[in-house]
Amino acid sequence: MILHHRRTRPVSWADRKSSTRHSWLIPILAFDFAWEWLAYLLSNWSFLEVLEYLGSFSVLIGVIFWFSESGARVEQRHYQAWQVINTAQGKGGSGGRIEALQELNGDHISLTGVDVSSAFLQGLHLPHANLMRANLNAADLRDSDLHLTDFSWADLHFANLRNANLEHAVFDHADLHDADFTGADLANANLDAADLTNADLRSADLRGLAWQHIAAIRNANIADVRNPPEGFAAWALGNGAIQSDAER
């Protein structure tokens, strides 16, 4: 912001000229003298002061409009994120869906029923997400952070969740047929009524796992599971699970 103040009247040219001892400086003094008078005259022109205030006011108006339209900008951003997800539905690759999902979840938007089947989503950062009834069939979610995420009634058939962080995740009634949990962190996860038929749980961390109400675990591989809850291994093997180090 320019601080407007009135300038004092410059001395006369005669006084200015007499103040120098070198004649070769006179042209320079004359040039400076002309601009000094122009500055003096303009500093006393009220119209310029009004323009300065109007300029500051226009900035204030712009800031007010920017904040007033912030909600519309957020809605537009969400619309674009959903458009990215829906346009790529059923296709392989990422297609910008990692960024779109993370943006929506970061704004606490529910992802209930989202369809990202067969998508490449390795390294997805989606903690505390609501993925109830989501279609994650054959999605690649290796090394993803999905702790405290709700997968209730979700389709994770053939999903790749190797080394994923699934602490405190909820898989209530989730379809986990053939899902790959190798090396995943399932500490304190809830598997109530989940179907783990043919799932690969090798080297998964099962500390504090809520397993007592698992719906099915036939042919699930529990080789080398870490921190299995008391009674889990015996129950799983008794209900058709296997222990094999061989890759499927």
Let me know: does 173 contact 194? Beta carbons within 8 Å: yes
Res 71 pLDDT > 80: no
| Token pair belonging to 42 | 């303009």
pLDDT greater at residue 16 or residue 92: 92
What pLDDT shows up at residue 89? 86
pLDDT at 34: 74
pLDDT, average across residues 11-22:
66
Higher pLDDT, 115 or 46: 115
pLDDT at 93: 82
Q: How far apart are CA 98 and CA 111, in angstroms?
A: 13
- Confidence tier at 234 by pLDDT (50, 70, 90): very high
What is the Cα–Cα distance from 98 to 86, expressed in whole angstroms? 13
Mean pLDDT across the chain, nearest whole number?
A: 87
Give the pLDDT confidence score for residue 36 in this predicted structure. Answer: 73
Mean pLDDT of 195-210: 98
Q: How far apart are CA 106 and CA 80, in angstroms?
A: 15
Say if CB 180 and CB 160 are below 8 A apart: yes
Q: The whole model's pTM is what?
A: 0.71
**Residue 140 backbone dihedrals phi, psi, to 5 degrees:** -95, 105
Q: pLDDT above 70 covers what percent of the chain?
A: 74
Work out the average pLDDT over 41-51: 62
Q: What is the pLDDT of residue 95?
A: 82
Give mean pLDDT, residues 177-186: 98
Secondary structure (DSSP) of the chain: -----PPPPPPPHHHHHHT-S-GGGHHHHHHHHHHHHHHHHHHT-HHHHHHHHHHHHHHHHHHHHHHHTHHHHHHHHHHHHHHHHHHTTT-SS-TTHHHHHHHHHHTT---TT-B-TT-B-TT-B-TT-B-TT-B-TT-B-TT-B-TT-B-TT-B-TT-B-TT-B-TT-B-TT-B-TT-B-TT-B-TT-B-TT-B-TT-B-TT-B-TT-B-TT-SB-TT-B-TT-BSPPTTHHHHHHHTT-B---S--
pLDDT greater than 70 at residue 179? yes
CA distance 116 to 139: 7
Query: Does the structure show a pLDDT above 90 at 5?
Result: no
Q: What are phi and psi of 180, to 5 degrees?
A: -105, 105
